[in-house]
Chains A and B, each alone.
Chain A
Amino acid sequence: MNTLGSEERDALKDSVRRLMSDASTEAAVRTVMETDTGYDAAVWKTLGEMGVVGLMVDEEHGGSGFGPLELEAVMEEAGAALLCSPLLASGVLAAELLNQLGDEALNERLLPRIATGDCIASVVLTGDSGCWTQQGVAVSAKQDGDSWVLQGRGSYVLHGQNAEVLVVVAKTDDGFAAFEVDPSAPSVTVAPLPTFDRTLRLASVDFDDARAVQVEARQPVWQAVKRTLDLALVALAGQQVGGTQKVLDFTVEYAKARVQFGRNIGSFQAIKHMAADLLLETESAISAARYAASCLAESSEKADEAISLAAFACADAYVKTTADSIQMHGGIAFTWEHPAHLYLRAARSSAQLFGGSNHHRENYLTAMGG
């Protein structure tokens, strides 16, 4: 793994920020979010060329070979700009699950194309329950001669409708196994799900005795899944704090500009004190996200605790900040044209994406021995 010094990491973050200020403006987001695919192919290509899509793919497979710290930093920028892209689906979830499973032949074939963005991959893990736990898996696999057949339904599959390859986690008679599936194969039905957060793309995938190729795993599959989810949670936390910071910034700016009763509304304590409380939430969430990334990068024994903490602290901070932001703006933020609701939608959905805050609080307590 390549770990950058903090200055180089800042430089990487800056380069992503510059791209976002060009390519993921509010106007661009509003256009892209109404398309079927939900991402801009040209921007996706650029992200591939910059090495952002292949951040988590090692150099030997054509990626940048970076780690959680760099990923978290990049995701802050993506989150701030509400970037519409399959980055989390393909560059994080799928790439990391493949890394963790370690099927060399498959990785040689897929990872270089994932790294450039040429191939979009996604992971099918949870079903209609939306629980990213063992109980949540609703696809089962049975051996049929030399090959396998899958039965059941996966759901909340990130960018499932755009994926060229699906990595499916399924239950077998001997525990969990992972499979490579071509979504266009017969007996596989991919259906886009309508999403509240329009910058998000989710799909369901039904398997009706679909043929699948087993992915070789050099560690127990659920362990590979767990490690992948750890990284995905760090990435999501980064995305959330990026969004949180951005919303706080434009809310404070508005409080300095808007005048009522002959003075700036930011001089009213009812507004000022909300802003001060939001700053505490925001800074705490940033600390939590970066700490989780560093624990994961160092494989610290505190990683489980730190990741669970970040998962609920960042999700809750994002939801609170976006929700309060609308209140602090007044009527203007109740209009479709104002960006506040785009962030509120992103915050509310991201807070459920890999399990809700109660779930992560429970994991946090368990990780501390409680």
Chain B
Amino acid sequence: MTTSVNDETLREEVRQWLSENWAREIADELESEAPTHYTASPALRSWLGKVFDARWSAPRWPEEWFGRGLSNDQAKIVEREFAKVKAPGTGQDRVNLWANTLLAQGQPGLKEKLVGPLLKSEVNMCLLYSEPGAGSDLAGIRTRADLQGDEYIVNGQKVWTSGATTADYGMLIARTDWDVPKHDGISFFFCPMKQPGVEVRPLRQITDESHFNEVFLSNAVVPAENLLGKPGSGWRVLNTALAYERSVMGETARGSRGGTGLGLGAVTEAQPLIALAREAGRLDEPHLRQQVAQTISYRRLNALNTARAKADLAQGTSSSIMSLGKLAMSRILHEEARLRTEILGAESMLEGEDYPQAVDANFLSLNAYFTSIGGGTDQIQRNIIGERVLGLPKEPEVDKTIAFRDVKTGVGSG
């Protein structure tokens, strides 16, 4: 059931609710806890629980799925009110990759079990896509899933799996049919991570952190009801999920080392590059001023593109601009980090708590690759833009029509 409500009443209701529930202390608590990238802190969970109970988590969704059946425009009213007080948790019907994928493609039982907890960040997730032999060419995966009774038995290896150590489920792609061409034999699952058949080995990253992992799947068990879409239609499910992930990566990125990526990080300075140059006493150097202005403009233009894309979507025209965001963000992050380094100069050779700006510049320089490689490299993004948006012809694909059994993948098999 969807009751219609007028804009003013709705706005008043959100404001009222926020004024009764959102307090500065919660904001402080959320910030001080510095949650990691992949799990929500207890304070955040408890806040998300309140948002959920009040049906603000996914206001566009129907009541059956914890929403209010609001139109896009009305949902934006809700989002705007939350944003005004910097409260997280609403608009998940747009940005929650996991819940959106599950709601669109999942079987009733699994949806019943997980959609709610996902909106409350009570379950942690990871992406089991990439393999040693299949990165950009994801359709070349060799992890297999074989149906036995009402369970799939999974064997293979995943790699670069961010957040796997804390995950309860992984969105998994595995091959269920080896006798059809590579894109046709893949299926998509919610794979339970806490089980003997799943072994997670952390990898040390260039940032000296350890967010991504190797995941070994040895007779791991996935209930058949955890299959999303139909057997063999995993490539399509994957592409919807990837599009989500990429559009989110085009709008947000992790700031400093302690940052959360959940859009909660304290943004104290509107233009950190100006502040940095001023602090370094270099804001009057003409060549730096040019670079600062140019670099700030990249972020600004991306925000304007995103706003225009959303306005287009609201009017019903599909937006090709959306697919540009991730490529834009990758330039933004690399250029901002490069400029920070240039402003700092020699100090960027130093590390440690006495040199927080050097730590930031160096961390950001390295972590920019998260966006330019993760979720599909810049080169793959350019292929996608060229082919799907501009309609340029694809490269000849030598392995598109042959049975996957006969396809070569990975390193040095040529």
| Chain A interface (Cβ < 8 Å from any Cβ of B) | 252, 255-256, 263-264, 266-267, 269, 271-273, 275-277, 279-280, 283-284, 286-288, 290-291, 309, 312-313, 358, 361-362, 364-365, 368-370
Q: Given A252-B392, A370-B277, is A269 in contact with B383 using a C-beta cutoff of 8 Å?
A: yes
Residues in A neighbouring B394, C-beta threshold 8 A: 267
| Nearest opposing residue in chain A for B391, CB measure | A256
Cα distance A17–B293 when bound, in Å? Answer: 34
Residues in B neighbouring A252, C-beta threshold 8 A: 390-392
Interface centre among B278, B300, B387, B394 (most CB of A within 10 A): B300
Q: Which of B317-333 contact A (CB under 8 A)?
A: 320-321, 324, 327-328
Cα distance A309–B289 when bound, in Å? Answer: 14
Q: Given A272-B382, A273-B386, A312-B297, is A370 in contact with B283 using a C-beta cutoff of 8 Å?
A: yes
Cα distance A267–B294 when bound, in Å? Answer: 31
Do B301 and A277 touch (CB < 8 A)?
Answer: no
Cα distance A279–B389 when bound, in Å? Answer: 9
Cα distance A313–B299 when bound, in Å? Answer: 12
Q: Which of B373-396 contact A (CB under 8 A)?
A: 379, 381-383, 385-387, 389-396
Do A283 and B290 touch (CB < 8 A)?
Answer: no
Cα distance A279–B392 when bound, in Å? Answer: 13
Least CB distance, A274 to chain B, in whole angstroms: 9
Residues in B neighbouring A286, C-beta threshold 8 A: 308
Cα distance A263–B397 when bound, in Å? Answer: 13
Q: Which DSSP category, helix, strand, loop or mixed, fits chain B's interface? A: helix
Residues in A neighbouring B308, C-beta threshold 8 A: 283, 286-287, 290
| Nearest opposing residue in chain A for B287, CB measure | A358
Residues in B neighbouring A256, C-beta threshold 8 A: 391-393
Residues in B neighbouring A362, C-beta threshold 8 A: 286, 289-290, 293
Residues in B neighbouring A288, C-beta threshold 8 A: 301, 304
Q: Which DSSP category, helix, strand, loop or mixed, fits chain A's interface? A: helix
Residues in B neighbouring A264, C-beta threshold 8 A: 392-393
Residues in A neighbouring B286, C-beta threshold 8 A: 362
Cα distance A271–B304 when bound, in Å? Answer: 27
The listed residue (A269, A290, A312) touching B379 by CB distance below 8 A is A269
Known: A272-B386, A279-B390. 6 other contacts (CB 8 A): A256-B391, A277-B327, A287-B307, A288-B304, A362-B286, A370-B283
Residues in B neighbouring A291, C-beta threshold 8 A: 304
Do A365 and B383 touch (CB < 8 A)?
Answer: no
Question: Number of B residues whose C-beta is below 8 Å from A?
Answer: 41
Cα distance A266–B328 when bound, in Å? Answer: 21
Cα distance A283–B385 when bound, in Å? Answer: 12
Residues in A neighbouring B274, C-beta threshold 8 A: 365, 368-370
Do A279 and B271 touch (CB < 8 A)?
Answer: no
Residues in A neighbouring B381, C-beta threshold 8 A: 276
Task: Sort A-B residue pairs by CB-CB distance and give the 7 closest, nearest first.
Answer: A266-B392, A272-B386, A287-B304, A361-B293, A276-B385, A370-B274, A276-B382
Least CB distance, A77 to chain B, in whole angstroms: 19
Cα distance A165–B256 when bound, in Å? Answer: 58
Residues in B neighbouring A313, C-beta threshold 8 A: 297, 301
Least CB distance, A30 to chain B, in whole angstroms: 28
Do A280 and B392 touch (CB < 8 A)?
Answer: no
Residues in B neighbouring A284, C-beta threshold 8 A: 301-302, 304-305, 328
B296 an interface residue at 8 Å Cβ cutoff? yes
Cα distance A267–B396 when bound, in Å? Answer: 8
B249 an interface residue at 8 Å Cβ cutoff? no
